[in-house]
């Protein structure tokens, strides 16, 4: 088991999803138990399902100097970056440490593949049309490359693409780089936008529900796909202040199957134990867990059992995918932000979408919103290919 780690300060954070742009929209939606899913109107021939679509992304082109990077995914990232004073916080971080001492570590599952799809829909004599003849877009690194370019950062720049755990794992990358002194701060987070690859891809696996998703409902029948972008700035804890803390993380592999989780949740449990060990905490210390809870048959079954057997009743747990849909590679950062808001506001989000609780679920489940002090919280993110991550956060002032 790993040693406890020194906590990192989360200096700034923000998210944009189907719930709206920025922290206030998300906090308001959680408080009102108001979800953001809507009938699918995306793509040329929309599938009969529900999606978590961000309104207005199409009307937000990138600034002229960044137009080579223009595509739906980077527009969504740029929209998110301009909320909650985040852009200013990045500039201040670069000023403070220098452009080479700030890492850009971002998760995505499909990056700007939507632009590649678009090119194939309107090929010019069998080749990419001239307006999409932009190699920087047709690679998984498009998002991280764009963010580094937009802020003129020249430190380590990494894309993590481990499907649905991507933008959780970047917190681990950042912690290692900061602890070893390779950088002084990191921009972490991720973006995934709606595209045909994931809509028709998950549909081909028969994992998409025709209804709004119902995480942990006994009659759940699949996921709703959403899009989101979220970002955070991590740095060492220096002086006492009101920044929430990253206190631990865990990463592990199922070694079981490419598209279904380990039946006993082995990798998920190893990631959880790893996170608790790095945080130096026990299950009973955890006040809230934001679950992966995709509303797929298997994920929820395995995760419900893991929570029921590991945590006491006073640990509260819920999935927020009923609010936002499954935002895939952006789920880690979006749900980190929702977890930090829950901690900030002392509100456990209700597990929106479930009407008939799966009997596998333990008494930890918060089916309705609850008001309570949250000092320590976890966020679970489990991906395709059996790739598991768990993050641990603490309220400002937590004594390690």
CA distances 15 to 181, 237, 283, Å, are 28, 23, 28
Distance in Å, CB of 158 to another protein, minimum: 5
What is the phi-psi region of residue 385: left when phi exceeds 0, alpha when psi lies from -120 to 50, beta otherwise?
Answer: left
- Among candidate residues 71, 292, 361, 395, the one labeled active-site is 292
Q: Which residues contact 99 (CB under 8 A, 6 or more apart)?
A: 152, 153, 154, 155
91 is annotated as an active-site residue:
no
Token pair listed for 128 = 């990419």
Nearer to another protein, 157 or 306 (CB): 157
Among positions 31, 92, 136, 396, the unique one binding another protein when judged by CB under 8 A: 136
Question: 195, 326, 390, 395: which is the annotated catalytic residue?
Answer: 326
* CA 104 and chain centroid, separation: 16
- Residue 87, interface with another protein (CB under 8 A)? no
Q: Which is nearer to another protein, 133 or 219 (CB)?
A: 133
Residues of this chain, 264-303, that bind another protein according to CB under 8 A:
266-267, 270
Q: Does 169 bind another protein (CB under 8 A)?
A: yes
Residue 164 is a catalytic residue:
yes
Does 1 participate in binding another protein (rule CB under 8 A)?
no
Contacts of residue 59, defined as CB under 8 A and 6 or more positions apart, other chains included, come to none
- Binding of residue 375 to another protein (CB under 8 A): no
The reply on whether position 176 binds another protein by CB under 8 A is yes
Alpha-helix residue ranges (DSSP H) falling in 264-327? 266-279, 297-310, 321-324
Q: Which listed residue (164, 213, 361, 390) is catalytic?
A: 164
* Spatial contact of 400 and 345, defined as CB atoms under 8 Å apart: no
Q: Which stretch binds another protein (CB under 8 A): 56-64, 78-86, 162-170, 339-347?
A: 162-170
Binding of residue 182 to another protein (CB under 8 A): yes
The neighbour count for residue 375, using CB atoms within 10 Å, is 15
Stretch that binds another protein, among 55-63, 132-140, 229-237, 291-299 (CB under 8 A): 132-140
Cβ-proximal residues to 258 (8 Å cutoff; 6+ apart), any chain? 384, 385, 386
Binding flag, residue 131, another protein (CB under 8 A)? no
Q: What is the spatial distance between Cα 321 and Cα 290, in angstroms, rounded to a whole number?
A: 10
Which of 17, 109, 167, 319 contacts another protein by CB under 8 A? 109
Candidate list 83, 162, 315, 381; residue touching another protein; CB under 8 A: 162
The CA–CA distances, whole Å, from 345 to 31, 35, 231 equal 9, 18, 19
User: Residues 34 to 63: which contact another protein by CB under 8 A?
Assistant: 43-45, 47
Region from 199-207, 293-301, 315-323, 374-382 binding another protein, contact rule CB under 8 A: 199-207
The helix/strand/coil state of 111 is coil
- Catalytically annotated residues: 164, 292, 326
């Amino acid at each position: 088991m790993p040693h406890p780690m020194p906590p990192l300060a989360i200096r700034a954070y923000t998210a944009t999803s189907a719930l709206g742009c920025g922290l206030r929209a998300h906090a308001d939606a959680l408080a009102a138990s108001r979800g953001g899913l809507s009938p699918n109107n995306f793509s040329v021939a929309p599938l009969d399902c529900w999606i978590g679509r961000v309104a207005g992304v199409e009307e937000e082109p990138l600034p002229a100097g960044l137009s080579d990077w223009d595509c739906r995914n980077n527009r969504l990232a740029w929209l998110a970056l301009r909320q909650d004073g985040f852009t200013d916080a990045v500039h201040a971080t670069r000023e403070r440490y220098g452009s080479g001492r700030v890492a850009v570590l971002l998760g995505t599952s499909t990056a700007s593949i939507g632009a590649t799809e678009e090119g194939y829909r309107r090929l010019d004599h069998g080749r990419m049309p001239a307006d999409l003849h932009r190699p920087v877009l047709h690679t998984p690194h498009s998002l991280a490359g764009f963010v580094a370019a937009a802020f003129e950062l020249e430190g380590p720049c990494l894309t993590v693409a481990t499907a649905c755990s991507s933008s959780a794992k970047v917190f681990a990358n950042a912690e290692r780089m900061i602890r070893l002194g390779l950088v002084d701060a990191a921009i972490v987070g991720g973006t995934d936008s709606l595209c045909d690859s994931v809509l028709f891809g998950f549909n081909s696996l028969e994992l998409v529900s025709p209804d709004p998703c119902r995480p942990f409902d006994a009659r759940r029948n699949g996921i709703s796909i959403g899009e989101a972008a979220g970002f955070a700035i991590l740095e060492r804890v220096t002086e006492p202040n009101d920044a929430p803390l990253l206190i631990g993380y865990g990463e592990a592999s199922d070694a079981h199957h490419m598209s279904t989780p380990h039946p006993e949740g082995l990798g998920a449990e190893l990631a959880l134990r790893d996170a608790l060990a790095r945080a130096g905490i026990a299950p009973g210390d955890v006040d809230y867990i934001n679950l992966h809870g995709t509303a797929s048959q298997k994920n929820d079954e395995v995760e419900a059992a893991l929570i029921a057997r590991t945590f006491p009743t006073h640990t509260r747990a819920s999935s927020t995918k009923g609010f936002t849909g499954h935002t895939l590679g952006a789920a880690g950062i979006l749900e980190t932000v929702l977890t930090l808001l829950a901690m900030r506001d002392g509100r456990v989000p209700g597990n929106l979408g479930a009407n008939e609780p799966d009997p596998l679920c333990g008494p930890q489940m918060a089916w309705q919103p609850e008001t309570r002090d949250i000092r320590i919280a976890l966020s679970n993110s489990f991906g395709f290919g059996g790739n598991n991550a768990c993050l641990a956060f603490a309220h400002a002032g937590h004594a390690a």
